[in-house]
């Protein structure tokens, strides 16, 4: 199978479901299941087993935030814009072309949501996560912003192939928090990026080379925050039908409390176009490096957005939007997660900025601070003498 082939012999069985949960009054999640070749976004029975055509397929979950109806608007804008961008133009010619289009579509959604929020006071602070998977052959790309997740089940191994852009995950990776401590961490609702909360976002792009029989799970944190990974794995292993798997996962999240909106997509990949798995074909988190392309190299700090607390009392849309805006934080304000004085490297002109933000180097020229020129010991004696003089003067005045 060539990477620019039309996906002959590749089939997918897919279904998606979203649920408001047990606590929230309205659903701010949205999901996308799209056949880009036929330009359809349907989950009618005839569309649940589409062949993968020359444009490929798109599967994504967006979890909105911002209060009132703003979160729902942000997530709906995201899925619409990403879909519209990826059906434009000629079909992708190769993996790099598809991957670049996917990243650009997610970035475009972020810009347009940000502009929409800035233009409407009642929607200030709105944003959305985005976990978007795309494929046109056996290679699956995942574009990630925020903390919705993508998993792949191969055999009996269940692996997260996206990485949460969240405070709690950054603390875990820095060794300052264990997985067990993270479950009860009081700030586990803080994410480091979201579409619409800043002018630019840094899209985390990963990939998986799929095998026959692999199953993909894309979900919002309404599922992953309520149902453990081993339980999700158990459902996928015991429930082969994608519709039934989505239903069972949603119901388990609701039985666990349903504290947030729950959205899940399950897809199974089949057909002779996918190679059978081999013992050494293990799945892991793998970043995909796009070739350099001329881009604007201006770097802005991503916003850190705190989701509204489930216990917050309802308020008017403008009040909620203002409260959400006040909750925004800048990514580098986290204390202890990263040392801000470790190695600043310069970026050549025209290079695409990716990975970690630039840091500072101690090899830079030191800054000279003007002083009086007196030795420190002399200054200390002068200060001590002044203090003794004031004390004696006060004693005489009291007498």
What pLDDT sits at residue 378? 65
Helix (H, G, I), strand (E, B) or coil at 399: coil
Question: Cα separation of 12 and 283, whole Å?
Answer: 19
Question: Cα separation of 107 and 13, whole Å?
Answer: 29
The band of 154, judged by pLDDT with boundaries at 50, 70 and 90, is very high
For the chain, the average pLDDT equals: 80
Query: Each residue of 182-235: pLDDT tens digit?
Result: 877 878 789 999 999 999 999 999 999 999 999 999 999 999 999 999 999 999
CA angle 341, 345, 349 (to 5 degrees): 145
Sheet with strand 303-306: strands edge to edge: 190-191, 303-306, 329-330
What pLDDT sits at residue 182? 80
What pLDDT sits at residue 399? 63
Sign of CA dihedral 145, 149, 151, 157: positive
Hey, which residues does 135 pair with through a beta bridge?
57, 140
User: Rounded mean pLDDT of 323-352?
Assistant: 34
What pLDDT sits at residue 396? 78
Closest CA to 362 of 348, 375, 344, 346: 344
Closest CA to 58 of 75, 83, 38, 78: 83
Q: Is the pLDDT of residue 320 over 90?
A: no
Question: Cα separation of 96 and 102, whole Å?
Answer: 10
Query: Each residue of 67-86: pLDDT tens digit?
Result: 666 999 999 999 999 999 99
What pLDDT sits at residue 17? 97
Question: Cα separation of 20 and 253, whole Å?
Answer: 11
Hey, which residues does 145 pair with through a beta bridge?
130
Question: Cα separation of 264 and 245, whole Å?
Answer: 9
The band of 341, judged by pLDDT with boundaries at 50, 70 and 90, is very low
Question: Cα separation of 337 and 239, whole Å?
Answer: 40
Phi/psi at 284 (5° precision): -150, 170
- Most distant CA pair in the chain: distance in Å? 104
> What percentage of the chain carries pLDDT values higher than 90?
57
* pTM for the whole structure: 0.73
Enumerate domains of the chain plus CATH numbers. 11-270 (3.60.40.10)
**Other CB atoms within 10 A of residue 383 CB:** 10
Q: Is the pLDDT of residue 250 over 90?
A: yes
């Amino acid at each position: 199978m060539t990477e620019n082939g039309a996906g002959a012999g590749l089939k997918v069985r897919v279904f998606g479901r979203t649920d408001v949960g047990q606590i929230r009054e309205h659903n701010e999640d949205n999901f996308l299941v799209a056949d880009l070749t036929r330009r359809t976004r349907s989950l009618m029975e005839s569309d649940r087993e589409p062949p993968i055509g020359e444009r490929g397929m798109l599967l994504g979950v967006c979890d909105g935030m911002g209060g009132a109806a703003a979160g729902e608007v942000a997530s709906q804008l995201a899925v619409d814009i990403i879909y519209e961008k990826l059906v434009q133009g000629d079909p992708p010619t190769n993996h790099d072309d598809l991957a670049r289009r996917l990243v650009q579509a997610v970035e475009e959604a972020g810009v347009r949501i940000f502009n929409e929020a800035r233009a409407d006071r009642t929607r200030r602070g709105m944003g959305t996560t985005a976990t978007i998977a795309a494929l046109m052959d056996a290679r699956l790309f995942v574009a990630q912003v925020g903390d919705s997740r993508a998993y792949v089940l191969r055999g009996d191994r269940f692996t997260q192939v996206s990485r949460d852009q969240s405070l709690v995950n950054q603390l875990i990776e820095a060794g300052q928090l264990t997985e067990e401590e993270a479950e009860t961490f009081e700030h586990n609702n803080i994410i480091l990026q979201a579409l619409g909360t800043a002018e630019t976002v840094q899209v985390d792009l990963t990939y998986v080379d799929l095998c026959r029989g692999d199953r993909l799970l894309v979900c919002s944190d309404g599922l992953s925050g309520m149902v453990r990974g081993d339980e999700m794995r158990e459902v996928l292993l015991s429930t082969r039908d994608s519709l039934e798997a989505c239903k069972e996962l949603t119901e388990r999240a609701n039985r666990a409390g349903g504290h947030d909106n729950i959205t899940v997509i399950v897809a199974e990949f089949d057909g002779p176009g996918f190679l059978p798995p081999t013992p050494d074909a293990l799945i892991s988190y793998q970043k995909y490096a796009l070739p350099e392309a001329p881009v604007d190299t201006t770097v802005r700090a991503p916003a850190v957005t705190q989701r509204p607390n489930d216990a917050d009392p309802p308020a008017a849309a403008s009040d909620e939007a203002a409260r959400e805006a006040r909750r925004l934080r800048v990514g580098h304000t986290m204390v202890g997660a990263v040392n801000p004085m470790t190695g600043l490297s310069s970026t050549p002109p025209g290079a695409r900025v990716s990975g970690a933000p630039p840091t500072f180097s101690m090899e830079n020229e030191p800054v000279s601070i003007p002083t009086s020129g007196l030795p420190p010991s002399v200054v200390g004696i002068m200060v001590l003498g002044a203090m003794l003089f004031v004390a004696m003067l006060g004693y005489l005045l009291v007498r």
